Amino acid sequence: MVTIKLYPTLDEKVAVLTGAARGIGKAVSDALIENNCKVVIGDILEKEGQEVVDAYNEKAGLKVAAFIRTDVTKYSDNIALFKLAETEFGGVDIALMNAGIVTGADSMFTPLDDATENRIIDVNAAAMIKGTKVALLHMAKRGGGSIVLVSSMAGIYSAPNLASYNASKHAVVGYTRSFQLMPSICNVRVNALCPFWIETELTAKFCNSDYEKFPYAKVISRCRYATMECLVEGFMTLTTDESRNTQTLKVLPDGLEIEQAPVVPDSFSGSADRETLAQFIPAAIAVGKHELAEALARYEQQR
């Protein structure tokens, strides 16, 4: 049972969560509901997702949650998910991009199969980009917001036997670090959570693997886990602390820890003349604002 802290600034906020029919996503969703937020859940698990929101609505005695079947790899599904939040609850303030998988593509000697290889990158990496781009438009319209992407410790370190998973989660960390200017463009912050092992169906799948074929499973089943409580606190910290942007926050058995971004080498930007660098940022913000206005106009026309 996760003890849920209360954060007054979350009162009446609207959150969209992917992969929240169970596991980490559901734990965050439970905490948001306890904090008097409205939640909209998108997942491929229709029965489980619907049951989660039915339980919230029944307990509240009014509509505080909605579910829509969402395959996060499809732009059309991401758009329908965020639009549902708008029609049901008036807009989107918070997003958790969490849906993720492990697949048989994780060994380096699996069959040379396009579909398996593409699937893990599509769900764990490309879908984070698609969901974030849709979220940005909805939050920009709203005047701002906070997006948390779920990467993994495998997005920082590369565990053996998890090659494709490592690649997909590293992509999420790199993507998250690209949003330095977004608060100035549309008041949206983007951060990532990098959990260590946490007990869910995903880790159970690892632990139930055949040790002969996947010796790393023994390591996973024996090492210390991070708690779901710590994960939820990490999400709440990134969401409510307005000074946080482009951060990767590790969720460890001993608590939360920021993973510092690598320092840019002098040869990359230090050698450019200072005036050029000083001009770059306002120019890039102006371009970003112009592109956002065009993107919003396109998005409205598509409706």
Ligand X SMILES: NC(=O)c1ccc[n+]([C@@H]2O[C@H](COP(=O)([O-])OP(=O)(O)OC[C@H]3O[C@@H](n4cnc5c(N)ncnc54)[C@H](O)[C@@H]3O)[C@@H](O)[C@H]2O)c1
Q: Is 75 a catalytic residue?
A: no
- Residue 197 binds to ligand X (criterion: CB under 6 A): yes
> In a 10 Å sphere around its CB, with 0-12 CB exposed, 13-18 middle and 19+ buried, how is residue 254 labelled?
exposed
Report the nearest approach of ligand X to the CB of residue 282 (Å).
36
- Residue 161 binds to ligand X (criterion: CB under 6 A): no
- Residue 171 binds to ligand X (criterion: CB under 6 A): no
Candidates 123, 182, 188, 292; binder of ligand X (CB under 6 A) is 123
- Among 78, 95, 101, 80, residue whose Cα is nearest residue 142: 95
Candidates 72, 94, 125, 230; binder of ligand X (CB under 6 A) is 72
- Residue 79 binds to ligand X (criterion: CB under 6 A): no
Candidates 98, 176, 239, 246; binder of ligand X (CB under 6 A) is 98
> In a 10 Å sphere around its CB, with 0-12 CB exposed, 13-18 middle and 19+ buried, how is residue 269 labelled?
exposed
- Residue 132 binds to ligand X (criterion: CB under 6 A): no
- Cβ atoms of 97 and 150 closer than 8 Å: yes
Judged by CB under 6 A, the stretch of 42-50, 81-89, 130-138, 273-281 that binds ligand X is 42-50
Phi/psi of residue 45, nearest 5 degrees: -85, 90
Candidates 14, 19, 189, 249; binder of ligand X (CB under 6 A) is 19
User: Is the Cβ of residue 43 or residue 181 nearer to ligand X in the bound state?
Assistant: 43
- Residue 82 binds to ligand X (criterion: CB under 6 A): no
**Residue ranges in contact with ligand X by CB under 6 A:** 18-19, 21-25, 43-45, 70-73, 98-101, 123, 150, 152, 195, 197-198, 200-203
As annotated, the active-site residues are 165
